[in-house]
Chains A and B, each alone.
Chain A
Amino acid sequence: MSADAKKNRPDPMTPLDDLIGQYADMPPGNFRYCPGCGLGMAQSALMRAFHRLDLDISQVASAGGSGCYAVMAHYFKSNHVHGSHGRACAVATGMKLANPELTVLTLQGDGDCLAIGGNHFIHAARRNIDITVICFNNFGFGDTGGQLAPTTPKGSVTETSPFGMPEEAFDPCKLAIGAGASFVARSTVAHPVHLTKTLAEAIAWKGFAFVEVLQHCHVLWGRRNGMPEAMDMLNFYREKSAFNTAAISEEECFGSPIYEPDGEQDINFVLGVLHKEQRPELGEELAKLRQRVKGDAS
């Protein structure tokens, strides 16, 4: 970033209540999340990412489905379509094609994005439509009581795997790259500044951008795995994460997370931008196609 651009950028230290006035539409009373939930932290980072990009909130549209995160969009002044479970990518694709001026996001949970909506997710990535998919990964289905999901780390205890999850977990970032996403990044709520910058970079990216946000659920996942407080889970993310630097090989960036309480594995999650690739965007390709077909006809 040039010195001038840095100078003109909105102040990253703007106090929270100023941001709330600009971007959030707060109902009276508390959030509907559990006390200490990572979604409140992720939401704060998302609002700061809007501020960092100086976005006009009326030009932001988001799509969502079912899950704990589903109320998040209702706390923003942005436009929102609450679609059916797992279909947020399909809804967002429609919104972006209908009005390319909009900044389109999908706010999804891991169960919504990768289990029930897995098919929509991989095909949105394949088409490289200019949307940003933000997947809040809390290692399970939080809204329905903490059942196992495709992202539950192997060996961890959930409602429906009381003796430990026997299956291998998805690596959502690896899946996104395999499906053809042009921007893939991972961050956690325990690294709020990094999360804000990553979200801002993903929203500004032209093409399909995927951000996996590791967001704790200490009530349903942490409590069953020896981390009953929000702070325990934040410390878990801080200890088990490493930033994607030159010292980390490409093989180390990906891999299914394995939960071993006394294990030797130091790093489970490599954070940062894991993949970037310029590819033709679907909206532009369709515009070209339209011009070619109509031009031939006339």
Chain B
Amino acid sequence: MAKRAYEISIDETLCRSCAVCWEICAPDVLGFQPPLNKAIVLTQTDCTGCRLCEWLCPDWAIVVRPLASEVAA
């Protein structure tokens, strides 16, 4: 069975660098970008789709979606 892929989009204007998402991400998909330390996506292919980042982001800046092509497959 093919691994499902996810698309993570981060709204930089909403992110306020609280660091919850990249600390809670087990496969280290998320990281931070100096100097403002806003969250960025490092390795999207490693995302397991647990959505903890989306559920815990206090600023509602992260949205995780299954990739459409993978859903159809």
> Taking beta carbons and an 8 Å cutoff, which residues of A are in contact with B?
13, 15-17, 20, 26, 30-31, 33, 35-41, 44-45, 48, 189, 192-193, 229-231, 234
Contacts of B23 in A (CB 8 A): 231
Tell me, rounded to whole Å, the shortest Cβ–Cβ distance linking B40 to chain A: 17
Tell me, rounded to whole Å, the shortest Cβ–Cβ distance linking B36 to chain A: 11
User: Which residue of A20, A193, A234 is within 8 Å of B20 (Cβ)?
Assistant: A234
Is B58 part of the contact surface with A, judged by Cβ < 8 Å? yes
Contacts of B42 in A (CB 8 A): none
Contacts of B20 in A (CB 8 A): 36, 230-231, 234
CB distance B63 to A15 under 8 Å?
Answer: yes
CB contact under 8 A between A30 and B14, given known A230-B19, A231-B19, A231-B24 = yes
Q: A36-B16, A230-B58 are in contact. List 6 more A-B contacts (CB 8 A).
A: A17-B63, A26-B60, A30-B16, A35-B18, A35-B59, A41-B56
* Complex A-B, nearest 7 residue pairs according to Cβ-Cβ distance, in ascending order: A40-B58, A36-B18, A35-B16, A192-B55, A35-B18, A231-B23, A16-B63
Number of contacting residues on B, CB 8 A? 21
> Taking beta carbons and an 8 Å cutoff, which residues of B are in contact with A?
14, 16-20, 23-24, 51-52, 54-60, 62-65
Tell me, rounded to whole Å, the shortest Cβ–Cβ distance linking B56 to chain A: 5
CA gap between A35 and B15 in the complex, in Å: 9
CB distance B64 to A15 under 8 Å?
Answer: yes
23 chain-A/chain-B pairs, Cβ below 8 angstroms: A16-B63, A30-B14, A31-B60, A35-B16, A35-B18, A36-B16, A36-B18, A36-B19, A40-B57, A40-B59, A40-B60, A41-B56, A44-B57, A44-B60, A48-B55, A192-B55, A230-B18, A230-B20, A231-B23, A231-B24, A234-B20, A234-B24, A234-B56
